[in-house]
Amino acid sequence: MKKTLDLRGLSCPIPLLKTRDALAQADMVEVLVDELPPKENILKFAKSQNYKVEWTESGGEYRITVSK
């Protein structure tokens, strides 16, 4: 199951927490963030868990797909 979360504009570390929580319930999670720190934190987290991660950037927003 895939989940999509809009995490734009949320303070650190809420985007990371929400992504982590969503991944506990779904195998694939797509998140939308609009700042570099949450993007980096989510990529780092995904890497630490050996999850597959892909991201694209458009207009200062990052769409990140994390899959188990």
Partner 1 sequence: MNWPILILTGIVFGLGAVLLVRFGNPGNYGFCAACHLRDIAGALGLHNANTLQYARPEVLGWVLGAFSLASLQGQFRARGGSNPVVRFILGMAMMIGALVFLGCPLRAILRLSAGDLNGLTGIAGFLSGISIGIIFLKRGFNLGRAKLHTSGGAKFFGYLPALAALQLIISVAFNAPYLNFSAKGPGSMHAPVWLSLAAGLVAGGLAWKTRMCLSGGFRDFLLVRDTYMLSVYAILFVSALAANLHLGFFKLGFDKQPLAHTMHLWNFLGLFLTGIAATLAGGCPLRQLVLAGEGNTDAAFCVLGMLVGAGIAHQLNIAASPNGVLFNGQIAVLAGLIVTTAIGFIYREQITPIGKGA
Binding site for partner 1 (CB under 8 A): 1-14, 16-18, 20, 22, 32, 34-37, 40-41, 44-45, 48, 60
Q: Rank residues 44 and 52 by Cβ distance to partner 1 and give the closer one.
A: 44
* DSSP structure string for 11-64: PTTHHHHHHHHHHHH-SEEEEEE-SHHHHHHHHHHHHHTT-EEEEEEETTEEEE
**Please, what is the minimum distance in Å from the beta carbon of residue 68 to partner 1?**
16
**Please, what is the minimum distance in Å from the beta carbon of residue 42 to partner 1?**
10
